Structure 1
Amino acid sequence: MAGNYVATSTVTIDAPQPRVWQVITDPAAVKEFMFGTELMTDWNVGAPIVWRGEWDGKAYEDKGEILEFAPGQRLVHTHFSPLGGQKDAPENYHTLTWTLEDEAGKTRLTLSQDNNDTAAAAQHSQGMWDQLVAGVRKIAERA
């Protein structure tokens, strides 16, 4: 059965929302903050989103679907990774929600992932997402 645990990572970035949005949607920036991943999508709702790369010497192809695309504010997509060892079935997909909020010229970025089976699984995912949003902050703030 699908889990009800949500992993959430939040960071405040010293950059305006349009800059942060540019970072999370630009394939070159995604490659930098997402561990060398090649991103492929056209950002249209209903379109596929694919991440290809190598992790611990193993090639992978993660996939999902764009569910919501509100430039500068919110991006929602599904995500499945075969590296998790589960079969490619709807119950094994996560929904990732990226939310950008203005905080006096800075941007509060929140990334959440649903459908974690246990609190420990959510905590593990949160650790990975914490690294990822820190990477987004680093890129957005250096421009």
Structure 2
Amino acid sequence: MSEELIAEASVSIDAPAAAVWRALTDPELIREYLRGATVETDWSPGSRIVWRGEWEGRPYRDHGTVVEVLENERLVLTHFSPLSGKPDVAENHHELTYSIEPVGDLTRLTLEQDNNATEAEARHSSENWQAMLEQLRKVAEREQ
């Protein structure tokens, strides 16, 4: 896999950075935009994070590690999904980097996912993340 093939998605949100941060880290809000997934973590660097839910009729339990937490600015997690069909080894994990940046009266949220094997995989991931960020935008704007 290539760490140079980065999937990226971004959205402008009409809410302050604190509302965007809350949408990223509040399990009840995450459930709203992440297709009903439950998230378990304490958001401390080095701690485990688990996402549980159902995707296309199949239950899943994704997992990773919280890498970096800069409240209202940046959140970095690793992520692995058994639904990928790949072995659960480090080279099949992705790093997800959420960056929060004020842009005028809006807040820009950008998500980057590394370690995509092909351009097509990176494009597919970007499309999925873009759809998720659009839903997160609605939640953050409502919650501000």
TM-score where L is the length of structure 2: 0.96
Deviation at 1:105, TM superposition (A): 2.8
Aligned to 2:30: 30
Runs of 4+ in structure 1 displaced over 6 angstroms? none
Q: Match of 1:120, SS?
A: helix
**Once the two structures are superposed, what CA deviation does each residue of 1:75-130 show, in whole Å capped at 9, x if it has no partner?**
00100000000000000000000000011231000001000000000000011100
Alignment root-mean-square deviation, CA:
0.9
**Whole-Å separation in 2 of the counterparts to 1:2 and 1:111:** 18
Distance 1:20 1:30, change over 3 A: same
Query: Conserved in 2, the CA contact under 8 Å of 1:2 and 1:91?
Result: no
Identity of aligned residues (%): 47
Aligned letter for 1:41? T
**Whole-Å separation in 2 of the counterparts to 1:17 and 1:2:** 31
Q: Match of 1:5, SS?
A: coil
Structure 1 spans left out of the alignment, 5+ residues = none
| Equivalent residue runs for 1:75-94 within 5 Å | 75-94=75-94
Give the total of aligned pairs.
Answer: 143
Structure 2 spans left out of the alignment, 5+ residues = none
Q: Match of 1:87, SS?
A: coil
TM-score where L is the length of structure 1: 0.97
**Whole-Å separation in 2 of the counterparts to 1:3 and 1:83:** 20
**Whole-Å separation in 2 of the counterparts to 1:111 and 1:119:** 17
Aligned to 1:20: 20
